[in-house]
Chain A
C-alpha cells in the first residue's frame, strides 16, 4: 500500500498530484499488478482532501488502463510501468554522471547546470513534439 502526500503550493491540481504519485510508484516498482490502492475513504481521512479529487484521479488511472475498480472491494493495479525501462536506468545514470563531471570541470556551478538541463530538456521536447 502506498501513501499520498499533497503539495498545495505547486500549482499542480491535487487530483493530478495523486495521479503522478501512483504513476511514479508504478514506474519505480513500488506498486505492482494486483496491489490495492488506498480506498477513497482512507485517503480522505488521512489527507483531509475532497473525495471527488481522489475519485477523479482513480478514474483517470483507470482510463489509462493502469488500475481497475472492483465495486465494493477497492481499486487494484492492473499494469505496471516499470518493466521495460528499468534495465536502461543504470547505463543512463552512468552517462549522466560522466556528463555532470564534465560540466563541473568546465566550471559550471549547480545553478548553471540545472538551468542548462532544463532549457535543453525543453528544446528537445519541443523539437520532438
Chain B
C-alpha cells in the first residue's frame, strides 16, 4: 500500500503513563482518514507524533516518506491545524497570510485570498475579533495555502456550532475534490466524520482497535440478536467485538468477512458511530449492570 503515514511499534510514554502503545498502522495516500476515539484515547499524541511536535519513546513513524519534521523539505509537506484552531489574536487576516507566505516555500497566496473572499471575511479584521467558525476557517485557509501533501487537523470542529461545523467540512471536502491532498483528522464525535472520511482508525485506551476503509468496515460488521448463546458457539470466522446477554437473549457485534447465514439471528447493519461505540465499550472493563457486558479480548 502507498502509505502517507506508516507507524511501526510506535509508543509514547509520559512519565509512567503510556499515551500510545504498540501502534502499527498504515494510512493510505489520497484519502480522508478519521481518527476516532474517546477523549484521552491518545488521538492528539498520535497526531503530534505524525507532525513531529513529539518524538516517539519507542518505534518509528514515517510521514510522506520521511521522518516527521526532520528537514525543512519535510516540514513543507505536512500542514497542521492544532486543536481549537489557534491563530494570532492581535494580527489581522492579511498579517496571517503575509506570515504564511514568508514562512512556507510552496505558499499559494492567490488561493488563500480567494478563500478568504469567498468566506466574506475582511482581510483587515483582527483574528481575535472573529467568531469561532471564522477563526477555524482562517486556520483551514492557512493550512491549505501551504499546499501540503498531508493536512493534519486535531479536533477541528469540536468547538463549532452545527452550521459552522458543516461549512468547515464543506470547504475541506471541496479542497479534497480540487487538489491531491491526503487528510488526517481526529474527532471524538463520530457523526462529524461519517460523511467526510473514507478511511477510519479507531483508537481506544492508547491502542488502535480497528482501522480500515469505511465501506469495508460497514460491510464486515453486523449486530446479531437472538436466543441466548455462548460466544464459543459462534462460527470461527465471526470475531466478537462486543457482547451483551440477558437470561434469554444475546446481542453481539461481530466482524466477519463472510455472510451471516444462521437463521436464528436477526441481523442488522451498524452505522460508523455504533461500530466505534462497540469497540469502545467492548474494550472497557466490565460494568456491573444489566444487561451484563462481557469483555472480549
**Residue B32 lies at the interface, judged by CB distance under 8 Å to chain A:** yes
**Residue A9 lies at the interface, judged by CB distance under 8 Å to chain B:** yes
Contacts of A49 in B (CB 8 A): 173, 195-196
- Chain B contact residue count (CB 8 A cutoff): 27
Closest chain A residue, CB of each to CB of B195: A49
Contact A6 B177 (CB under 8 A): no
CA distance A105 to B195 in the complex (A): 45
Which of B32, B173, B215 has most chain A Cβ within 10 Å?
Answer: B173
**Residue A21 lies at the interface, judged by CB distance under 8 Å to chain B:** no
Contact A51 B273 (CB under 8 A): no
Which of B71-79, B96-104, B263-271 makes up part of the contact surface?
Answer: B263-271
Beta-carbon contacts under 8 Å, A1-48 to B: 6, 8-16, 40-41, 44-45, 47-48
Q: How large is the interface on A (under 10, 10 to 19, 20 to 34, 35 or more residues)?
A: 20 to 34
Contact of A8 (CB < 8 Å), options: B169, B170, B173, B272: B272
Contact A12 B272 (CB under 8 A): no
Contacts of B269 in A (CB 8 A): 10-12
Tell me whether A13 and B214 are in contact in the complex, defined as CB-CB below 8 angstroms, given that A8-B272, A50-B32 are known contacts.
Answer: yes
Closest chain B residue, CB of each to CB of A39: B177
Main secondary structure on A side of the interface with B:
helix
CA distance A10 to B272 in the complex (A): 9
Contact B218 A13 (CB under 8 A): yes
**Residue B174 lies at the interface, judged by CB distance under 8 Å to chain A:** yes
Contact B177 A41 (CB under 8 A): yes
Contact A44 B191 (CB under 8 A): no
CA distance A10 to B273 in the complex (A): 10
**Residue A112 lies at the interface, judged by CB distance under 8 Å to chain B:** no
Minimum CB–CB distance for B88 against chain A, Å: 28
CA distance A67 to B196 in the complex (A): 24
CA distance A13 to B216 in the complex (A): 9
- Per-residue interface assignment for chain B, residues 1 to 43, with 1 indicating a CB less than 8 Å from any chain A CB and 0 otherwise: 0000000000000000000000000000001100000000000
Contact A48 B268 (CB under 8 A): no
- Per-residue interface assignment for chain B, residues 175 to 186, with 1 indicating a CB less than 8 Å from any chain A CB and 0 otherwise: 011100000000
- New A-B contacts (12) at CB < 8 Å, excluding given A41-B178, A48-B166, A53-B195: A6-B195, A8-B194, A8-B271, A9-B273, A11-B218, A13-B214, A13-B219, A45-B174, A48-B195, A50-B32, A50-B173, A53-B198
Pairs across A and B, CB under 8 Å, 10 listed: A8-B273, A10-B271, A11-B268, A13-B214, A13-B218, A16-B215, A41-B177, A44-B170, A45-B170, A53-B198
Q: Which residues of B contact A (CB under 8 A)?
A: 31-32, 166, 169-170, 173-174, 176-178, 191, 194-198, 214-215, 218-219, 268-274
